[in-house]
Amino acid sequence: MSEANRNTLLIVDDEKSNLRTLTHILSPEYTIYTAKSGADAVEKAKEYLPDLILLDIIMPEMDGYEVLATLKSLPETREIPVIFITGLGSREDEEKGLSFDAADYISKPFGASIVKLRVRHQIQIVNQIHTIERLSMTDQLTGIPNRRALDVRLDMEWHRAIREKTSLGILMMDVDKFKIYNDTYGHQQGDVALQAVAKILEQSLGRRSDFAARWGGEEFAVLLPNTEAEGALDVAEHIRADIEKAEIPCADGSITKVTISIGVNTQIPTQDSLIEFFISGADEALYIAKKTGRNKVVHALDAAEDGADG
């Protein structure tokens, strides 16, 4: 299996020897991240979003129970399964660990075969869940994430932006005069055009954190974490230009073209902010873009000023 396709593990233990042992046992099959404290574990879990966490219970300052409680309280990490690792051997200790919603429990000293089997079991469950989620969150026509996937990702990035006090950007876009395109070339060719737009969206995004989805029909959306207005407008203009110059082939060998209008909104959300208003701001900007000529990019702030002038 290539490094890019490997499942990822975060191993958390304040003892270097334990980290070395577990890394030696598991690194042939998995990509390994390590943390030596509870606080470091939480930060690395948020950064790397591993498939599974192996978490020592007895650690100074922030023990495993506190770490797990923190992970379960965060939208982006709450679904990551955790295996407790500990030298505590009583049935009461094991029951306490499982009562904290740990997925499993591994006792020290480590037996390589037991560690591999228990990790493999959890990873199999994770991969099955990911497969189901991927199928339910993928648009079948274009192969990119669907609206449900965008809702999940937006909720996660919204809460992250609140915590970190960073700006979040969203692009709402609509293929111009798509009904006319369908009526002219047929619905099958319309599907080809939507697939072409989706491919260009994915190719136009420069960061792994950027997220493109099909909103529905001929509408698409792009989520831009940690992006202020200028950066969001740059990305939107890049997408608009790439779609304008793209040549979309027809079955008879002829070439067609489409353009796209884009509404942009950016915000540093707070606890009092509403996601619905954030999206509607981009929708309003998209409406202005289409109303004032199509094939253009409009920011929500400019849309508001245009509405006030009107």
Omega cis (within 30) before 109: yes
Active site includes 276?
no
Distance CA 56, CA 101 (A): 14
Question: Catalytic one among 76, 133, 202, 218?
Answer: 218
Strand 211-216 and strand 168-175: the pairing is unpaired
Could you tell me if 144 and 202 are in contact, meaning their C-beta atoms sit under 8 angstroms apart?
A: yes
CA distances (Å), origin 113, targets 51, 85, 116, 119, 310: 20, 15, 5, 10, 72
Residue among 60, 7, 57 nearest 37 (CA): 60
Helices (H), 75-172: 91-99, 112-136, 147-164
Which residues are registered as beta bridge partners of 299? 264
Which residues are catalytic, by number? 218
